[in-house]
A and B are shown apart, each in its own frame.
Chain A
Amino acid sequence: MPAITRAEVEHLARLARLALPDDELEHYAGQLDVILSSVASISEVAAADVPPTSHPLPLTNVFRPDEIRPSLDTDEVLAQAPAAADGRFRVPRILDEEQ
């Protein structure tokens, strides 16, 4: 049984906002299967009592004072936008509701 099915890859592509044509989906399904199969062994390595390490540093409580710092120049920012109008970023119509 493959580690990942073609349907799952399709679902992943949707979650990751990647518009992949069918032949690419097929291609990736094969490759992801190989990769995931070879990393799957990891699920048996660590005992339940091993704490996870999400970060190599033991730092805590890094804060900055609540002070205003200069913002960027609006024109410079919008100059890099694919489309802009009225001082705002112009984006295609949004279908989905806000989360």
Chain B
Amino acid sequence: MTDPTTLTAAELGGAIAAGDITAVEAAEAHYARIDAVDGAIHAFLHLDREGALAQAADIDRRVAAGERLGPLAGVPLALKDVLVQRGVPTTAGSRMLEGWRPPYDATVVTRLREAGVVILGKTNMDEFAMGSSTEHSAYGPTRNPWNTDRIPGGSGGGSAAAVSAFMAPLAIGTDTGGSIRQPAAVTGSVGVKPTYGSVSRRGLIAFSSSLDQAGPCARTVLDTALLHEAIAGHDPLDSTSIDAPVPAVVAAARHADVRGMRVGIVRELTGEGYQPDVQARFDESVELLRELGAEIVEVHCPNFVHALAAYYLIAPSEASSNLARFDGMRYGLRVGDDGTHSAEEVMALSRAAGFGAEVKRRIMIGTYALSSGYYDAYYGQAQKVRTLITRDFEAAFARVDVLISPTTPTTAFRIGERLDDPMAMYRADLATIPSNLAGNSAMSIPAGLDSDGLPVGLQIMAPALADDRLYRVGAAVETALNARWGGPLLDKLTVGGTR
């Protein structure tokens, strides 16, 4: 029997539906892989073996009964710990929520169950999704499977590492400023931030409500599309959910043809500040797209240079309010309730003890930006910049079908390298943030390796509700690059001496 962990989600789903392999066998094989390699990686915070195996057994019963299930039925998945799952510990990477068991399921979790996807466990992340390295997890960093001295990206480093180290073929991430795409880029996997409002945020522990969006992570463009289709769609319990049909992403992923498409290079997201290797892989991708029949156009988005500043005001502002509820009164950590402290003091002590340094920094920045006297100059102004960035996108998409850029300015940096330099850390999101501010869709796919053998990502950006274009372009580039490399990039990866 083929090792189930080497299969793509599409292959594994097909094998389970055909009865060649059971969902229980698939889950057990992935748990065995996790047991073998996750000691070195630390992608998971919690494994729900009992729940996952019960769910897998249920899928097997239904397959045996002749029921026709979806393409991902029985396929294992790693869930970012920022999404609530009823009865399963959910921490968002924070000490604040240690031991908390949510009394309800996120809509994404409900959709996954309906698709028959088996949730193996919860993955590590920067605390409350604030970070670009997963070093800001209260439970210790996740390591990059390509080089365990390096960061796996963040905030969804656990999900990206789980996928790239073959511990799960699929994972769910969330992307507020690049938390799906940047980890995908630095781990050689695929990640998509869908159009804002196309995947329900209900049950997603909010970092920045107007930017947060859950999305799929996988090793191939097709697998990513299958997962995208499973989780997207209107949710009446999320007021910001779009009531429109999900773009035909799976069909697009199978239609790997860019002939006649207009592809724009964003001048402001290249050149200075980008690592030469990263720039070189990007230039090669551009050339490849030209060879594949795309028309390459250069576009300017002059306000993108202000995106980082706008983001680091808007996201912390919303976060300072979203994270207020963690006060030790109704759930989570409570510190100092010894009879000598008032509720007010216990709140402040609990929050000081429960939040890590990065979360505290951002809460204070956000509190500052919203406070009277500063609101107009900071938060108000950042919202205007958001308008300007959206207009830049609109102008660009009037000329081209998709935009492309490197996903990140650099490949994976060393663990600890930027911990004391918040601004250096923040610059990892330079190229990913504009799509969050505008609410557009965007994807990162592997574009090759740098001279240290670390993955480089190519970012593809499409207008809102045109997510299918990402998959069409992504699949075309993926097919061509795999042919050039003689197989997927991740086949070159060995973790802990295995594979």
Contact = CB atoms under 8 A, between A and B. Distances in A.
Whether A and B touch directly in their complex, counting CB atoms under 8 A apart, is answered as yes
Interface of A: 4, 8-9, 12-20, 28, 31-32, 34-36, 38-39, 41-43, 45-46, 50-57, 59, 62, 64, 72-73, 76-77, 80-83, 89, 91-96
Nearest to B355: A18
Nearest to B333: A82
18 contacts: A12-B371, A14-B348, A28-B361, A28-B364, A41-B309, A45-B381, A50-B384, A53-B386, A54-B210, A56-B210, A59-B239, A80-B101, A82-B328, A83-B334, A89-B329, A94-B343, A95-B342, A95-B344
Contact of A31 (B104, B361, B363): B361
A64 B377 CA distance: 36
Given A28-B360, A91-B343, A92-B343, A17 B327 contact: yes
A16 B367 contact: yes
B438 interface: yes
A4 B368 contact: yes
A93 B347 CA distance: 12
A94 B364 contact: no
B390 interface: yes
A72 to B, nearest CB: 5
Given A17-B327, A80-B331, A94 B344 contact: yes
Nearest to B99: A80
Interface in B359-381: 360-361, 363-365, 367-368, 371, 377-378, 380-381
Interface residues of B, number: 68
A54 B318 CA distance: 11
A31 B367 CA distance: 15
Given A46-B388, A92-B337, A92-B342, 16 more contacts: A13-B364, A14-B348, A19-B349, A28-B360, A31-B361, A36-B365, A42-B385, A46-B387, A52-B380, A52-B383, A53-B390, A56-B464, A64-B236, A76-B103, A82-B329, A89-B330
Contact of B439 (A41, A56, A62): A56
A34 to B, nearest CB: 6
B345 A19 contact: yes
A17 B351 contact: yes
Contacts of A13: 364
A20 B360 CA distance: 10
A8 B372 CA distance: 13
B306 A45 contact: yes
A39 B320 CA distance: 17
A56 B341 contact: no
B125 interface: no
Given A57-B439, A83-B337, A94-B344, A43 B330 contact: no
B476 interface: no
A73 B103 contact: yes
Contacts of B54: none
